[in-house]
Structure 1
Amino acid sequence: MTVKQTDAAPAGAELERACAQFLYQEAELLDDTDYAAWLETCLSEQLEYRIPIRTTRERASGASEFSRTAFHMKDTYASMQMRVHRLLTEHAWAEDPPSRTRRVVTNIRVREPGPGEAEVKSYLTLYRSQWDTTEYDLIVGERQDVLVLESNDWRLRRRVVLLNHTILGTANLGIFL
């Protein structure tokens, strides 16, 4: 289920820096649990957001390890709006108390298929803890994003998160990757 990058040339330094800054700002908003600002400033209204389930396959099969039909999350802008609005109420039991998270975004690679569009691959390591325990979750994967310029600001149009995990060691995915 990987998103194939186009044959676009690698981006110049200015575009690469702008995309990296977008990802860092997004991580900060999410780590600060400022979901309303994340929704308003980072997401395109044409958003496609997917986290396909990873399965174990024998190497010789040649099949993708990622399902085309089963997902941990499969969202649009409208469903993301509902998720965010629910997180801002007392009905988000999986996030009460809120998770303490820290996102580390690395290995950012940018290609430019056309003006006002960027294909961005990055690695994400997410630390998550809740309550007053020593237990924590560590979630690792690659994100394949398409960013678009809308009103002179970069917005996330598409994200596919390819988790390294076949089985998530977290009780729920009440957070955004």
Structure 2
Amino acid sequence: MTTTISTQSFRPRPPEAGAVERPVPVNADEQREIEQFLYFEAQLLDEARYSDWLDLLAEEVSYRMPSRSNRMHRDLAREAGGTGDLGHYDEDLATLRLRVARVQQTVAWSDNPPPRVVRAVTNVQATRRPETGDGAFAVRSVVDAYRNRLADDTDRFTGFRADVLRRGPDGLLLAERTVYLADSVLLTKNASLFL
């Protein structure tokens, strides 16, 4: 599944190009399994069950949220940073475990008192990744997270996620996630939540 970053730009199709290539969807049982995995993951995160959430991650997980910049049409390919570029986060399992340990401390100012977060996951599109040979799925979904803390400290994070899910011994595991927020500038005090 090809990930197109910007969805707000006019992109004419070259005259020599053929009709749009439609993704080959997974079967109905796989689609339901993938959706239920994403919904369960959102529930664990909403309930701040971060240790349980870590159990859903593959050992080799890559978890990124690149920063985005406003670009002219000719520079749209550089709208989101790549691996190694400065972003909001670029993590692996070891750093995610450190973040979870920090959030679970009573002295973490961004989470004490803890925020209330509700995540909505929609528009789930899944295709197989036959090139990997491991039964992995490429999954695109839209996420909208609302966070409230104290009386009037609210934030909203909306964007889409490009994930790779693969089978583990106990079910699906998140192997890769890249979150592309709709915002180019985050107007929030912190981005400590997991999307």
3-state SS of paired residue (1:173)? coil
Aligned residues: 172
Pair 1:49-2:63 in alignment: yes
**1:128 corresponds to which residue?**
147
> Contact 1:3 / 1:160 at 8 angstroms: preserved in 2?
no
Q: 1:157-168 counterparts in 2 under 5 A?
A: 157-168=175-186
**Relative CO higher for 1 or 2, CA cutoff 8 Å, sep ≥ 6?**
1
3-state SS of paired residue (1:86)? helix
**2:73 corresponds to which residue?**
59
Q: Which runs of 5+ in 2 are unaligned?
A: 5-21
Instruction: Return the index of the structure with the highest Cα Rg.
Output: 2
Runs of 4 or more above 4 Å deviation:
none
Q: Which runs of 5+ in 1 are unaligned?
A: none
37, 42, 55: which one aligns with 1:27: 42
**1:148 Cα deviation after fit:** 0.7
**2:126 corresponds to which residue?**
110
Pair 1:137-2:155 in alignment: yes
139, 160, 172: which one aligns with 2:190: 172
Change (3 A) 1:60 1:67: same
Q: CA RMSD in A?
A: 1.7
**2:172 corresponds to which residue?**
154
1:55-104 CA distance string (max 9 Å, x none): 01111334331012111011000100111111121232211111110001
- Matches of 1:8 and 1:126, distance apart in 2: 27
Residue 51 of structure 1 aligns with an amino acid whose one-letter code is M
1:82-131 CA distance string (max 9 Å, x none): 11111121232211111110001000000011353111100001100101
Residue 75 of structure 2 aligns with an amino acid whose one-letter code is S
3-state SS of paired residue (2:67)? strand
Pair 1:38-2:53 in alignment: yes
- Matches of 1:58 and 1:175, distance apart in 2: 30
Residue 30 of structure 1 aligns with an amino acid whose one-letter code is L
Change (3 A) 1:157 1:163: same
- Matches of 2:47 and 2:75, distance apart in 1: 43
Pair 1:17-2:28 in alignment: no
107-116 vs 162-171, greater mean Cα deviation: 107-116
86, 89, 95: which one aligns with 1:79: 95
Pair 1:89-2:108 in alignment: no
